[in-house]
Structure formats: structure tokens, C-alpha cells
Amino acid sequence: MTTSKNTDMDPTAEPEEAAIAPETQPREVATIEQRAAAAGERGAAAVADAIEQGEDAEKAVGVLYLGIDLGTSRTSVSASNGQRETIASYVGYPKDAVSQKLLKKRVLFGQEALDKRLALNFFRPLEHGVLKSSEEGTPEYEDNLRAAKDLISEVIRRAKPRKDELIYAVIGVPAQVSINNKQAVLDAARESVDSVMLCSEPFSVAYGLDMLDDVLVIDIGAGTTDLCRMHGTMPEDADQITITFAGDYIDNKLAEYIRETYPEAQFSIEMIRKIKERYASVADEVDKVVVDLPVNGKPTSFDLTDGLRAACQTIVGPMVDGLSTLVSTFDPEFQDRLKNRVLLAGGGSQIKGLDLAIEREMATRLGGGKVMRCEEPMYGGAGGALKVAHDMPAEFWEKLK
Amino acid sequence: MTEMTTAKAPAASALSVAQMLHLMRMEVDNAKLHGYAICCLMIGLDEFQTQAEREARRWLMPAIFSELKAITFQQHIRGLGLTREHFILAVFPHIGVKQATELSEELLAKARELELPGITGGTPVTISVGVGHNSHPRSDELETLIEDAETGLNLARSGGGDRWMQWRTVEDELEDIRGELDEQIREMRELGPGEESDAVASWGHALVRKIVDAFAVVEPSASLNQVRSDVLAIVSSEVDRWRDLATIRQLSEREKTIDLLERRITKLTGSLDQTESELKRIASLKAIDTGISSIYSTVQGLLDGEDNTEAKREMLKDIFEANLALRQ
């Protein structure tokens, strides 16, 4: 009998665990009695039936709000049932029926898809924060659209909606995304929710933190960095700038550095991403970043301290360029206030010392400025989108069904 | 426990899983092309839920695989197999259903004898085996065979484990039970009015007619008419009595038949219900998550008392209008 033994198919760890309830929680229509009173006689009867059916059937119907941050690297969801989830934006489909049988899944997501990508048709459906494609109608476009749809369905599934609930979702997209791409994201989401709206990612971050006046939001993602000027009204095109100096740009710069400095080192872009996520810093004083990379199959230590810092530093200049543009085109009377309320959000804001580096650059080019960090960079966009969804009037949702 | 089991775990093969599956597929395709029998076994350990048991699986699966190799080696059976953490998959060409089930029985017996020091702690190891075979017309592809074997494995486990199960056989049995039930119901419906009592009545009428005919050839007289009337009355009365007796006898027999059929129907219906509920239970294992309720039962909206209510209302309206424009 010929044998084959392979044990590397263990399910990998799931992404970060669900954490705290969203900020919008306090406004619950709290008690069953209140619900009954609000819903009238028919509602009261329904609630009475629900009580008889026990805890699980506490209500016959409900409204589940979802805030989704659809990112190039990670997709996060915050839900009004307290669920919060983040998954890496990877989607994989088994290459054939036998792979599907062995993997026991029709489609794999996140880290699991990444780990088993050799047995999968593997997709990272978003690029620069929007659907990756050459042009609409091409097989590549269709494949990425399908992957994006499945990714959105998966994050919604991970929010654990009940089947009898209405699902209203707000999805954050990069500030200056094209209409076609917005349409594609809407198409992808519509299959999984009852009603959906898109809103600008940096706006949703600001809305979630209730910082709507004279604030400059910098949302650093993997594909794009969005800069948005908030001044008490809905930001217009002139208030928003999207640049591609973001996480992926740093990865490519670091990869270039390694290729030039240590040509013998072997690595993949995923390995580079992990190194960046663990050690990224632009601070003056940092511990040495020494990592093991294979050289002809043998793990060898390399010092990446300078290379990583230089790669991370490359996004500071373009960001301050964007800041300068938004500040200089603002009402002169309020420019100082705007400079002193710069808010860093998104996964890229976790680079150590980034706030101070931006402040230094602003001091040189704008004569000063103050940078704050978002407390929860991973969920800033999703939490804000959830708050937008919650505050949106019922008639608006109805009209967009 | 065979020597194979006591030996160290098998070394990793030079073939990858994909290569092994390719070979299996070729073998199944050949079986289809040349019309020979081929079976697929999926073997899994029963009740390995705890962390310690899951650790033990890493050791036990190779041991069971070794047992399978030893059995097939002794019986000169050639095959292809691969082990995973949760199951063993094996394909055996030129093996009929009977031989496949005998192989499964033998493997079950060998597994019961397994005891790895410090791992099973004296608890007997049991396995379940799912059997797929190309004797079924719909099972002529590798995917279908694996699917049949997997369903068989799940059925065997849900039936308490330590057994083999061939899904297609279960499916066929289910079909047979359904067919038999339909037949019984049809038979009961077809039971019409009593034939025996009708025969007695018809015979009685013929007899009366013969008596009337016999008296017709004789010269009529008052006494003869009286005798004829008496004879006819006696014959009619006897025929009626016989007919009643026949009806009673027939009813009794039918009651017995109906009772018998009803008991069979009850039994078959119970069996069918049990099988179907078991199938439903297995199917439902994959979708038991009912979700978590939202904290909201109604649509919320912006509250009047909030900071910047008017500004927010305008912003939300702008977002809505932008989305509405996008739809249009």
C-alpha cells in the first residue's frame, strides 16, 4: 500500500476575538414592556408569545446594525449585537472537488485561506481599498467581485445575525473611490443585507468619535491613506485626499531594501508584512530589529532596524504634503485649530512614533501642529460606520432597500 | 495487536496528498472504464473530544493505518491510502462490497485490541468505518465515492460508533421501506366487499332456480305447490345461513389480515421515522448556530438630545442622498 501522511491542514487560529459592545449601546429600547407599549396591541401579543418561547426567542424580529470597514488588508465588522470581528481580506476557493472534500469548505477566509493558499485559487479582492480589477466584465473582475461578495458575506456571518432580523449595514470605503467601484462594493454587499449605504472611511472614524468640527483625520490603511478635513458639515471632494502611501507601500519599500542589502535572503511579501506589523517604528530610539530569514533553506539572522525605519518614514512626507494642502486651503481663521487637531486612525497608525514624526514634519513645514491617536485603530472605521447606521433615520433605510 | 502496530509510526511518504488523490482518481476512472469493482473506506476514531484524546489521535491514526496495511497485506489486497488527523482514506480496486465489509469488520476488531501505553489509559479504542462502493450506479467518481464513505462514517458514528456503514445500502433500505409501506397501504385500500359471501349467494340463487325448474316439469297441484313453497323456504333459509356464516368467517379472516398489516405498517413507519430523524439530526449538525440577537428591536435614528443634532442630521441626509444618487 502506498502511503501519504500530511498533518499541516490543522485549522489555524481565528482572528481577534470579539470585544466590547459598540458605542451606540446605551440607547437600547430596553424592556419587553417598553417594546410592547411601543409596538401597540399586535406587538404586545408578539412579545408575549416571545416570552413564552423563552430566552432564545426573546423577540420575533429585530434590527441588526452593522458597521463594516472593508479594507485591503483587513476587514472589520462591529454589530449592534455586541459582536466585533476582524479578518484578513483574503479569500480562497479549493482548486478542485477533492481539495474541497479535504478542506471541508467551499470557501476559506482570512488567515486560514492564507495558510492553505497552495491548495486554493487565492484572492485578495481589494487593492487600494477598492475592488481589484483591470476593467469591468473581465474574468479577473468577476473573480474579484465574487471574492468580495463572499468576504462581505463572511464578515456578516461572523457578526452572528439572527435569521429573523433586518440587517442594515454601513460600509466605509476610501474617500475618493470611483463611482464604479462604489457600485461594485454595493453589489457585493446587497446579497447579504436588507439595506446598505456607503460612506467615506475617514468620515466614519470622525463620526464615531464625535469629532465633527475642525478635525483632520488621517486613516492609514494597507492600500490607501485617506485624509479628511471635518468642519461641521459633510466633507466634500475638496475636503478629502486619498494617497497610496500606506501599508503596502511600506512593505514594498522594505522588500526593496532587503533585496538590495541582503540579496541572499529569501522572503515573501507575507513575511515582510508580518515583520512590519510586529516591529514598525519611526521613533528615534528603537530596539534592534533582528529577524530570521532563510538563506538556501537555512534560517539566518538579519538586522532590519534601519531599513524598516526608513521604509516606515517614507509615508510621513506624502502624508504631511496632503495635510498641508488641506490646511492651506482651509479658512485662514481656523487653520491653527485644524493643525492642532490631527487624528491618526487605521491599522497604519500603530507604527511606533508616527504621531511625533508627523508633528516634527508639520513643525518644519506648517510651523507646528498636534497629532492624536485613535484609541482603537482596528475598529475606528467599523465602530464609526456602526454609529452612522444607528443614527440613520428609518425612512432612509426603507428607500434604499 | 500486530507487529505493524507496535512498530514506529509510518514515515512520511514521498507522495503529497494531491499526488495520492490523483492516483486514486486514476484508479477509480480505470474501474469505470474497464468495469471492475472498487471500494473506498473512510475511517475515523470515535469520541475523541477532549484535549488529551485529541493528542492521542496523532498516535492512534498511524497505528490504525498500520493495522489496515497489515490486514490488506495478509489478504494480498492492493490499495492506495492516506492519513489525516481526523480520518484515513483508502481506495481498494477489485474489491467487492462483501469483501469491503469483511475488511471493515476485521479492522474494527483489530482497533478494539489497540492499546497504546499512556494514551488510551485502558479505554478500548473504537473506530467507525464508512464504505463507498462503485456497485451503486451513482458512485462511479472519486468524489462521489469519498462522499458516500464520509456519509457512511458519519452514520456509523451517530449510530454509536464501533461499526461500519455503507451509505448507499442505508439509502436503498430506506427506499425499500418506503416502497413496502406504499404497497401495504395500497393492499389495505384494495380490500373490497367479501367475495365468499357473494359466491354463497350466487350458488343459493342457482339452487333455488334448479328446484323451481324441477317442480315445473310435474303437473301442478295444490299439494305440490305447498311442497314446492316449503322446499324453497327451507333452501332459502339454509342459503342465507350459509351466507351469514361465510361472511362472518371472511370478516374474521380480514380482521386478522388488517391487524397484521396494521402492525407491519406501524413497525415500518416507526423504522422510517427513526431513520429519517437520524438523517435530519446528522444534517442539522452543520447548522446549529442561530445567531445573537441585536440589542434593538426597532429602527433607531438620531436622538434629539444629542450634541450637534442638526449638523449630524444634515450629514446623514447627505450620505443618504449620495447613496440614492449612486443607485440611480
pLDDT per residue as tens digits for the range A139-154:
787 888 888 888 888 8
For residue A278, the 8-state DSSP code is H
What pLDDT does residue B196 have?
Answer: 62
Q: Are residues B81 and B122 in the same domain?
A: yes
In a domain, B292, yes or no: no
- C-alpha to C-alpha distance for A12 and A348, rounded to whole angstroms: 25
In a domain, B26, yes or no: yes
Q: Are residues A270 and A201 in the same domain?
A: no
Pairing of strands A91-94, A108-109: antiparallel
Give the dihedral sign, CA B208/B211/B217/B219: negative
Instruction: Tell me the residue range of the domain where A90 lies.
Output: 54-209+381-399
The three cell numbers of residue B204 are 343459493
Q: Are residues B36 and B141 in the same domain?
A: yes
In a domain, A225, yes or no: no
In a domain, A216, yes or no: no
pLDDT at B246 over 70: yes
Nearest to B84 among A9, A63, A203 (CB): A9
What pLDDT does residue A389 have?
Answer: 92
Instruction: Pick the more confident residue, A116 or B177.
Output: A116
Give whichever of A24-33, A100-109, A273-282, B52-61 has the largest mean pLDDT. Answer: A273-282
Q: Which range (B61-70, B109-118, B219-228, B241-250) has the least confidence? A: B109-118
Q: Pick the last residue of a domain from A291, A313, A335.
A: A313
Task: Find which of B83, B319, B324, B328 to mutate to test the A interface (most A CBs within 10 Å of its CB).
Answer: B319
Instruction: Tell me the residue range of the domain where B227 lies.
Output: 195-283
Q: Is B91 helix (H, G, I), strand (E, B) or coil?
A: strand
What pLDDT does residue B75 have?
Answer: 87
Residues 327-386 of chain A whose Cβ lies under 8 A from any Cβ of chain B: none
In a domain, B318, yes or no: no
Q: Are residues B86 and B202 in the same domain?
A: no
The three cell numbers of residue A336 are 491653527
Instruction: Give the list of residues 6+ apart from residue A198 with CB closer than 8 angstroms, or none.
Output: A170, A171, A172, A173, A182, A185, A186, B322, B323, B326
Note whether A81 and B295 are within 8 A (CB): yes
Q: Pick the last residue of a domain from A313, A335, A364.
A: A313
Task: Tell me which chain B residues have a C-beta less than 8 angstroms from the C-beta of A166.
Answer: 299
Q: What is the largest CA-CA distance in chain A?
A: 83
Q: Are residues A287 and A180 in the same domain?
A: no
Q: Are residues B211 and B153 in the same domain?
A: no
Task: Tell me which chain A residues have a C-beta less than 8 angstroms from the C-beta of B297.
Answer: 29, 35, 39, 59, 61-63
Q: Pick the last residue of a domain from B165, B182, B209.
A: B165
What pLDDT does residue A28 have?
Answer: 37
Q: Are residues A193 and A307 in the same domain?
A: no
Q: Chain A to chain B, count of Cβ pairs less than 8 Å apart?
A: 191
Q: Are residues B65 and B161 in the same domain?
A: yes
The total of structural domains in chain A comes to 2
In a domain, B103, yes or no: yes
Structure confidence at residue A12 as a pLDDT band (50, 70, 90): very low
CATH number at residue A260: 3.30.420.40
Q: A234 vs B146: CB contact, 8 Å cut-off?
A: no
Structure confidence at residue A342 as a pLDDT band (50, 70, 90): very high
pLDDT at A31 over 80: no
Note whether B187 and B260 are within 8 A (CB): no
Structure confidence at residue A49 as a pLDDT band (50, 70, 90): very low
In a domain, A176, yes or no: yes
Compute the average pLDDT of residues B104-114. Answer: 88
Q: Are residues A253 and A204 in the same domain?
A: no
The percentage of chain B sitting over the pLDDT mark of 90, rounded to a whole number, equals 9
The three cell numbers of residue A238 are 475638496
Q: Are residues B108 and B206 in the same domain?
A: no
What pLDDT does residue A260 have?
Answer: 93
Compute the average pLDDT of residues B160-183. Answer: 76
Residues 176-205 of chain A whose Cβ lies under 8 A from any Cβ of chain B: 179, 182-183, 186, 197-199, 203
Residue A221: name the closest of A376, A374, A72 by CA: A72
Q: Are residues B100 and B140 in the same domain?
A: yes
Q: Pick the last residue of a domain from A272, A297, A313.
A: A313
In a domain, B310, yes or no: no
In a domain, A217, yes or no: no
In a domain, B227, yes or no: yes
Q: Are residues B25 and B120 in the same domain?
A: yes
Q: Are residues B142 and B206 in the same domain?
A: no
Residue B84: name the closest of B37, B34, B146, B145 by CA: B146
Q: Name the residue of chain B whose CA is nearest to A187's CA.
A: B327
Q: A391 vs B319: CB contact, 8 Å cut-off?
A: no
CA terminus-to-terminus distance, chain A: 59
What pLDDT does residue B328 have?
Answer: 75
Q: Are residues A131 and A184 in the same domain?
A: yes
pLDDT at A56 over 50: no
Residue holding cell 485490541?
A: B113
In a domain, B328, yes or no: no
Residues 69-98 of chain A whose Cβ lies under 8 A from any Cβ of chain B: 79-83, 97-98
Task: Tell me which chain B residues have a C-beta less than 8 angstroms from the C-beta of A186.
Answer: 326-327
What pLDDT does residue A359 have?
Answer: 93
- C-alpha to C-alpha distance for A188 and A132, rounded to whole angstroms: 13
For all residues of chain A together, what is the average pLDDT?
79
Residue A349: name the closest of A357, A337, A339 by CA: A357
